[in-house]
Amino acid sequence: MPDELRSPIKHHLVLHRIDPEHRVRRFYSLMIEQDLFGTVRLVRNWGRIGTNGQDLVEIFPSEIEAGKALEAIAQEKRRRGYRDL
């Protein structure tokens, strides 16, 4: 498949944390993408389930470094009770 037909999204991970006892229903989304100029971006989106949440975009020099950052963030979230969706 030619590169121009491929999705710019390289990796996408969605985590959630649901704890009815503490009234917690949250999500955390991590996505590595490449913009039209070839910049590798790690896009984070988090908030309460049912809302749009907040966004944070970080720029990385390579997809490998963005992947390492994604895994580090995901591991921290899993330690805090988030589970893969």
3-class DSSP assignment, residue 52: coil
Burial (CB count <10 Å: 0-12, 13-18, 19+), residue 70: buried
What pLDDT does residue 10 have? Answer: 74
How far is residue 13 CA from its own chain's centroid?
5
Note the pLDDT tens digit of each residue in 67-82: 999 999 999 999 999 9
The answer to whether residue 8 scores a pLDDT higher than 80 is no
Q: What whole-number percentage of the chain has pLDDT above 90?
A: 80
71: CB partners within 8 A, 6+ apart: none
Distance CA 30, CA 11 (A): 8
pTM: 0.85
**Per residue in 17-56, pLDDT tens?**
999 999 999 999 999 999 888 899 999 999 999 999 999 9
